[in-house]
């Protein structure tokens, strides 16, 4: 599975993208897996209630199912002005 991080998440986590080979059933399990990396990961991803998620370029929720071939993108809320 390919995971992408955008905007401030990319900056705060120091990573633009990566491959995840561990099996996860849904986005929530992926977030749990990533949060195990430490407090910064937990705060930026799992605890972030405003986190935006896309799976295969379609908006998704934490209960969205995942497969090994999916692309998952995380990004902060978009603001305009």
What confidence tier does 47 reach under pLDDT thresholds 50, 70, 90?
very high
Q: What angle do CA 27, 48, 7 make, to 5 degrees?
A: 90
pLDDT of residue 80: 58
- Using a pLDDT cut of 70, give the percent of the chain over it: 96
Taking 70 as the threshold, does the pLDDT of residue 38 lie above it?
A: yes
Give φ, ψ of 65 to 5 degrees: -70, 150
Residue 81 falls inside a structural domain: no
Residue 57 falls inside a structural domain: yes
Number of domains observed in the structure of the chain: 1
What confidence tier does 37 reach under pLDDT thresholds 50, 70, 90?
very high
What is the domain range of residue 37?
A: 2-75
Q: Closest Cα to residue 62, out of 46, 43, 39?
A: 46
């Amino acid at each position: 599975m390919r995971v992408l991080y955008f905007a401030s998440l990319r900056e705060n986590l120091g990573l633009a993208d990566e491959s995840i080979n561990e099996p996860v059933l849904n986005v929530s399990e992926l977030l749990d897996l990533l949060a195990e990396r430490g407090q910064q990961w937990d705060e930026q991803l799992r605890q972030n209630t405003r986190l935006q998620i896309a799976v295969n370029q379609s908006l998704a929720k934490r209960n969205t199912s995942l497969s090994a071939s999916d692309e998952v993108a995380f990004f902060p809320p978009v603001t305009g002005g």
